[in-house]
Amino acid sequence: MKIVELVNNIQLPITNEEADLLTKFSDGEKLNKSDLSPRQQILANQLVNKDILLRINQNGQIVYSKKIKK
């Protein structure tokens, strides 16, 4: 388990698998859903539900971006 700090200074535990996915996001970088494996897509949706990732629809494509401080 890892701890991430949200934008509003709340600390939230995430799994190691979710933490590995977060390492793919650099500062301000966005990843297309199509670039992720099916398992990573599930993890990305879990992180959206935890308010760690932001899911955006850009021109009909789903894009994920990081929402946490670190």
Average pLDDT over residues 30-56: 93
CA distances from 9 to 26, 34, 70 (A): 20, 31, 11
The topology under which CATH files domain 2-66 is Arc Repressor Mutant, subunit A (1.10.10)
> Within a 13 Å sphere around the CA of 10, how many CA atoms are in the beta-carbon half?
8
- Spans of all domains in the chain: 2-66
Task: Indicate whether 70 pLDDT > 60.
Answer: no
State how far the Cα of 36 lies from the Cα of 41, in Å rounded to an integer. 6
pTM to 2 decimals?
0.85
**4 falls in which pLDDT band (50, 70, 90)?**
confident
